[in-house]
Amino acid sequence: MRERETESGTPFKTVYDAEDLAGFDPARLGEPGEFPYTRGVYPGMYTERPWTMRQYAGFGTASESNQRYRELIENGTTGLSVAFDLPTQMGYDSDASLAHGEVGKVGVAIDSLADMRVLFDRIPLGEVSTSMTINAPAAVLLLLYQLVAEEQGVDPTRLTGTIQNDVLKEYIARGTYIFPPAASLRLVSDTFSYCRSELPRWNTISISGYHMAEAGAHPAQEIAFTLANGIAYVQAAIDAGLAVDDFAPRLSFFFVSRTSLLEEVAKFRAARRIWAHVMRDRFGARNPKSLMLRFHTQTAGVQLTAQQPEVNLVRVAVQALAAVLGGTQSLHTNSFDEAIALPTQKAARLALRTQQVIAYESDVTKTVDPFAGSYVIESLTDDLEDHALKLMQRVDDLGGAVAAIEQGYQKSEIEQTAYATAQQIDDGERIVVGVNRFTLAEEEPYEPLRVDPAIEQAQVDRLVSLRAGRDQQAVDAALDQLRTAAKGDDNVLYPMKEALRALATVGEVCDVLREVWGRYQPSDRF
């Protein structure tokens, strides 16, 4: 019966006792803030300060999103998290034929430096931490952010935040890739090198298991495939001539948090332990910060339901608690209405208040790693570690993450898990409140936030005006410099920054790279 299995498919005992930890060595855990970081990456964790509370937001125009960001900051958000629309994520301008109908729908449309100026108007970039959920064109958006900060008079060395920049998971689970894997890894390595010199406090990548989990991966798969991708990025950077301790301290990760609270707590602990050993034993890292798996967590969007959406408030609270008990460094709580549409202002505020109640009204911030030594948590942590290591070994046997992606391995494994989960829900074996149990005869009406379709034409008009008013010769010259760098082995971020400063658009920059590096064509060989 599924009720006696973890999400990862391993046995879940009715009762755990001392026999389950026979031979268990507490020293294997380490102390909080010490190798292998099972108990957390900082000695004091939340007893010294709470996690960063982020709210993922962005829709329509840069102006609308800017207003939402300022409202979130006024309500106590300590870090911004930017959602970009699909054309921006795919490196297309808003007036591209492929962008039609998608402009501003799932995030904010950013076509140029002019849009980025509006997006962060009256937001002091030297004081706020900003996470940007952008992958294939991550370097482009980071440079736009840096240019705006410099216009504000902010020294780039003060900038803090994260670009997701994890394109490997796009090939596995999400699909917003642009270039082939080798070219994508080149761009990631160039970003690592650039940030080491220019933006030393910036997290250069957020290696993401979240999207694989949303596609159906169970917790052990989420850990395994995420860390396997992390290994590929580290190896690519080393192959490009970087020393591991020069870039590894700025790596970060991004995981989901589900309603299966106990297994999620164990998942985060197991992931930290595996990564610490990988970095020390496989790559020879010596800086303790290189060994730390620091991560952002988002509550599980895939578990939100359009039926009885207010119940999602409870789901999100449980998921957020799991992330905190598991030791996350930052957290985004989904709004209860996101299964229906973009969150309303009230729903976004309630999501933030959920984190604030956990941080300031509960007692889970009074001690570090509250479940340490628990029979069930330590057993689940070991089980997940063993399961994930076996999956990681399979990826290695196939030639590493990129080779396994090209063979369709991870995608196939996740699809099988997703199909099994869907069957369990359809059969009633897995209960989803409001969907296959405890349903209502008639749903109460709910008025979602809607994006005005007229914003697409307004954005296109802005682009036309931008192109008409810029120095086209300067743009063309800068794009030629970028083209030359892409054909050779110079770091492409330096000429890319100059092209963007000259008001080249996101689409124009990505088109140059598409011209040189080509487009990725997926394979389903596995």
Going from the N-terminus, what domains does the chain have, and what CATH number goes with each? 2-55+172-427 (3.20.20.240)
Sheet hosting strand 330-332, strand order edge to edge? 202-203, 160-163, 129-133, 79-83, 52-57, 330-332, 295-299, 251-257, 205-208
Residue pLDDT, tens place only, 412-431:
999 999 999 999 999 999 99
Q: Would you say residue 2 has pLDDT above 60?
A: no
Q: Would you say residue 448 has pLDDT above 90?
A: no
Phi (first) and psi of residue 488, to 5 degrees: -100, -145
What are the structure tokens assigned to 135, written together?
Answer: 């992958």
The mean pLDDT of 5-32, rounded to a whole number, is 88
| Res 445: pLDDT | 82
Beta bridge partners of 129: 79, 160
| Res 524: pLDDT | 60
| Res 72: pLDDT | 83
Per-residue confidence band for 271, with pLDDT thresholds at 50, 70 and 90: very high
14 burial level (CB within 10 Å; 0-12, 13-18, 19+): exposed
- Determine the Cα–Cα distance for residues 148 and 130; give it in Å rounded to an integer: 13
Q: Side chain identity at 520, as an amino acid letter?
A: Y
| Res 514: pLDDT | 98
The mean pLDDT of 149-166, rounded to a whole number, is 97
CB-CB contact of 324 with 368 (8 Å): no
Strands 295-299 and 251-257: parallel
Phi (first) and psi of residue 483, to 5 degrees: -60, -45
Q: CA 362, 364, 365, 370: dihedral to nearest 10 degrees?
A: 170
- Determine the Cα–Cα distance for residues 25 and 123; give it in Å rounded to an integer: 49
Per-residue confidence band for 226, with pLDDT thresholds at 50, 70 and 90: very high
The mean pLDDT of 147-151, rounded to a whole number, is 98
Q: Would you say residue 450 has pLDDT above 80?
A: no
The mean pLDDT of 331-360, rounded to a whole number, is 92
The mean pLDDT of 350-377, rounded to a whole number, is 96
Per-residue confidence band for 162, with pLDDT thresholds at 50, 70 and 90: very high
DSSP state of 151: H
Beta bridge partners of 331: 53, 297
Question: What Å distances lie between residue 508 and 69, 183, 335, 492, CA to CA?
Answer: 28, 18, 35, 14
Q: Would you say residue 342 has pLDDT above 80?
A: no
- Determine the Cα–Cα distance for residues 134 and 167; give it in Å rounded to an integer: 9
Nearest to 96 by CA among 476, 469, 463, 479: 463
What are the structure tokens assigned to 324, written together?
Answer: 């905190």
DSSP state of 141: H
- Determine the Cα–Cα distance for residues 489 and 28; give it in Å rounded to an integer: 44
What are the structure tokens assigned to 457, written together?
Answer: 């034409």
| Res 435: pLDDT | 96
| Res 3: pLDDT | 60
Phi (first) and psi of residue 466, to 5 degrees: -60, -50
Q: pLDDT exceeding 90 applies to what percent of the chain?
A: 86
| Res 25: pLDDT | 78
Which helix H or strand E contains 375, and what residues bound it? helix 375-397
Where do we find the tokens 């989901």?
A: 256
Q: Would you say residue 34 has pLDDT above 50?
A: yes
Residue 221, C-beta contacts closer than 8 angstroms, at least 6 positions apart: 8, 212, 391, 410, 413, 414, 417
- If you write DSSP's letter for every residue of 501-514 in order, what string do you get? HTT--HHHHHHHHH
Where do we find the tokens 């996740």?
A: 414
The mean pLDDT of 478-490, rounded to a whole number, is 98
Q: Would you say residue 476 has pLDDT above 60?
A: yes
Residue 486, C-beta contacts closer than 8 angstroms, at least 6 positions apart: 492, 512, 513, 516, 517
Give Cα 221 to chain centroid, integer Å. Answer: 16
- Summary mean pLDDT of the chain: 94
| Res 1: pLDDT | 36
Give Cα 130 to chain centroid, integer Å. Answer: 13
Which helix H or strand E contains 79, and what residues bound it? strand 79-83
- To the nearest 10 degrees (0 to 180), the angle between helices 493-501 and 138-151 is 60
- Determine the Cα–Cα distance for residues 131 and 329; give it in Å rounded to an integer: 13
Nearest to 474 by CA among 498, 453, 492: 498
| Angle at the Cα of 256 from the Cα atoms of 273 and 262, rounded to 5 degrees | 65
The mean pLDDT of 489-514, rounded to a whole number, is 98
- Determine the Cα–Cα distance for residues 503 and 513; give it in Å rounded to an integer: 17
| Res 453: pLDDT | 82
| Res 39: pLDDT | 97
Q: Would you say residue 302 has pLDDT above 90?
A: yes
